[in-house]
């Protein structure tokens, strides 16, 4: 069962991972890739050699996607995020379920399905978590980390970066707490360890320091 395109699922997965690490502003090194993909460091080491010999990455002075690697990664990420939109908006799956499912669909969707889904959804510019869909008309909003909001200030959730999808249970928690792109709230307290207390739709929610530093909001 090869994927729709011409590349093996493993290659797609590694390129996607490199793309998202860069997007999340995390050092693109083998150790990070190993963590995200949940494989051993030797496995990554070996795969880096294969990716390089296939012309998908270069490794002189840090791991970087080549043009071909970038194209592949963008295709995979685009399909992942379109699939997430479809799964949440049309099939009414939860964030967490949609994310898991999309992680499989991204390797299986053909170009025509990608196009048809894009049409069906009205060419969305972000996934349900607010991350940009490559190839769409996404315009970078003027956003800053939730952790930089002052006590008492209002904000609108803008984006929950891909990085947070790796913390088990976090997506579920955020969705249940209505912490989804577009909703607005107020910071009611900041504890010394960086935990924020928010007020959203009449409910109060605590958000840890790490998550707060990653979630992007606008005024």
Partner DNA sequence: ACGGATTGTAAAGGTTCCCTAACGTCCGGT
Partner DNA sequence: ACCGGACGTTAGGGAACCTTTACAATCCGT
Query: Which positions touch Fe ion (CB under 5 A)?
Result: 84, 99, 127, 129, 131, 165
- Show the site string, 176-205: x = touches its own copies by CB under 8 A, - = not: ------------------------------
- Show the site string, 10-39: x = touches DNA by CB under 7 A, - = not: xx-x---------------xxxx----xxx
Could you tell me the two tokens for 73? 């990664």
The CA-based dihedral angle spanning residues 50, 54, 59, 62, taken in that order and rounded to the nearest 10 degrees:
-90
Q: Which of 63, 117, 179, 211 binds its own copies (CB under 8 A)?
A: 117
Binding partner selected for residue 91 from its own copies, DNA, Fe ion, none, CB under the kind-specific 5 to 8 Å limit: its own copies
Q: How far is the CB of 76 from DNA (least distance, A)?
A: 14
- Total residues found in the chain within this entry: 219
> Which are the contacts of 39, defined by CB distance < 8 A and separation ≥ 6?
none
Q: Is 194 left (phi over 0), alpha (psi -120 to 50) or beta?
A: left
**In this complex, which beta carbon is closest to DNA, that of residue 50 or of residue 200?**
50
Q: Which of 23, 89, 97, 163 binds its own copies (CB under 8 A)?
A: 97
User: Torsions phi, psi of 155, nearest 5?
Assistant: -155, 165
**In this complex, which beta carbon is closest to Fe ion, that of residue 127 or of residue 157?**
127
Q: What is the DSSP string of 158-197?
A: EE--GGGGGSTTHHHHHHHTT--TT-EEEEEEE-TTS-EE
| Binding residues for its own copies (CB under 8 A) | 1, 3-4, 9, 13, 87, 90-93, 97, 100-101, 103-105, 107-110, 112-113, 116-117, 120
């Amino acid at each position: 069962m090869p994927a729709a395109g011409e590349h093996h699922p493993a290659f797609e997965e590694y390129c996607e991972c490199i793309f998202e690490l860069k997007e999340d502003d995390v050092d693109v090194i083998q150790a990070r890739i190993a963590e995200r993909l949940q494989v051993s460091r030797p496995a990554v080491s070996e795969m880096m050699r294969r990716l390089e010999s296939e012309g998908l990455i270069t490794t002189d002075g840090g791991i970087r996607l080549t043009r071909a690697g970038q194209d592949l990664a963008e295709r995979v990420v685009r399909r992942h995020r379109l699939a997430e939109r479809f799964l949440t908006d049309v099939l009414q799956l939860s964030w967490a379920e949609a994310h898991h499912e999309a992680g499989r669909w991204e390797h299986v969707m053909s170009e025509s399905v990608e196009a048809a889904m894009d049409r069906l959804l009205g060419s969305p510019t972000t996934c349900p978590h607010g991350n940009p869909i490559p190839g769409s008309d996404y315009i970078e909003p003027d956003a800053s980390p939730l952790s930089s909001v002052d006590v008492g200030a209002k904000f609108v959730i803008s984006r929950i970066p891909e990085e947070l999808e790796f913390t088990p249970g976090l997506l579920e928690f955020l969705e249940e707490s209505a912490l989804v792109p577009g909703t607005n709230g107020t910071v009611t307290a900041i504890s010394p360890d960086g935990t924020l207390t928010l007020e959203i739709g009449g409910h109060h929610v605590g958000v840890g320091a790490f998550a707060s530093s990653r979630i992007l909001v606008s005024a």
